Amino acid sequence: MSSPTREVPTLLRPPSYTAAPVDWPAGAKPQYVVINPMHIISLQDRTRTFGVRVVEKIKAFSERWFTHVLLLLFLMMYAAVGALLFQWVEAPLEMREKQSIIRMRELVAQNLLKYRNLSDAAWLEKAYERLYVYELQIQEHDLSSARMIQKR
C-alpha cells in the first residue's frame, strides 16, 4: 500500500524575511498586517528626554495656532534676544565712549567760560576756535572707534 499524498500548504501572506516576490495562488488575496511601532513602545514622561518633551509641547502649541503666527512670534523673540545680546556685549564700550564725549563737552564749556570777560567779537572768535578743536576731537574719536571695529 502506498502512503497517502499530503497537500503542501500554501502561504497566503509572504513571510517577513522574503525579499523576492511571491506568486499567489489563483483567486487568493494577499493578507497584510500593518503594525504601528508606537503601540509597542510606550514613551512615558520619565523615559522622554527634556528635548523630546519641549518639541512635543511646541508641536501641540503649533497645532492649535496658525503656523504663520507661531513663526512671527519666533521671529520677534529672535530679534529681542539678539538686541539684548548686542546690548550686553557692546554696552560697556558705548558707555565709555559716551562718557568721554560728555567730558570733552564739559571741558569746552569751562574753557569758554574763561573768555567771558572779553568783548563779544573776541569771545566769538575764541568760541569758534575752541568749537573747531572740539569738532576735530569728535571726528578723531569717531575714526578711532571705526578703526577699532575694523581690527575686530
**In whole angstroms, what separates CA 149 from the centre of its chain?**
24
For 75, the grid coordinates are 521671529
Residues in the chain: 152
The 10s digit of each residue's pLDDT in 1-20 is 556 677 766 656 655 665 56
Whether this prediction's pTM lies above 0.85 is answered by no
**Residues 100-124: tens digit of each pLDDT:** 888 888 888 888 888 888 888 888 8
Residue whose C-alpha is closest to residue 28's, from 10, 1, 5, 6: 10
| pLDDT < 70 stretches in the chain | 1-4, 8-47, 65-66, 146, 148-152
- What does the block give as the cell for 66? 496658525
